[in-house]
Amino acid sequence: MRALEQLITSGTFFDWVLIAIAVEALLLIIWSLSRGQQRQALRLLPNLLAGASLMLAVKLAIIDASWLLLAATLSLALVAHCVDLYGRLRLT
């Protein structure tokens, strides 16, 4: 249990989550492009960027980073989320 606490409080856990999100994005883009669905690949990016930005914000809060950096990361998450929502609403 102590190892898990250290993993989270040091921020290392969130580094691994961010790496997993990056790998997921890369694999989804490769898969979409291999099927000839370039637009589908682009539609995934805002959602993944919003999630990655939120994970980075959590890490920054845990390691007690600058509030300005935290605010910038949360703003990026908001913009990415709005772009994602706009794309989804436009499709319906």
Given this model, what pLDDT does residue 90 score? 86
Angle ∠(42,51,48) on CA atoms, nearest 5:
15
Cβ count within 10 A of residue 68:
8
The model's pLDDT over 17-69, given as tens digits with 9 standing for 90+, comes to 999 999 999 998 898 889 888 777 788 899 999 999 999 999 999 999 999 99
CA-based radius of gyration for the chain: 16
Cβ contact 53:73 at 8 Å: yes
Residue ranges of domains in the chain: 2-91
pTM of the shown model: 0.87
- pLDDT of residue 91 exceeding 80, the answer is no
Average pLDDT, integer, range 2-28:
93
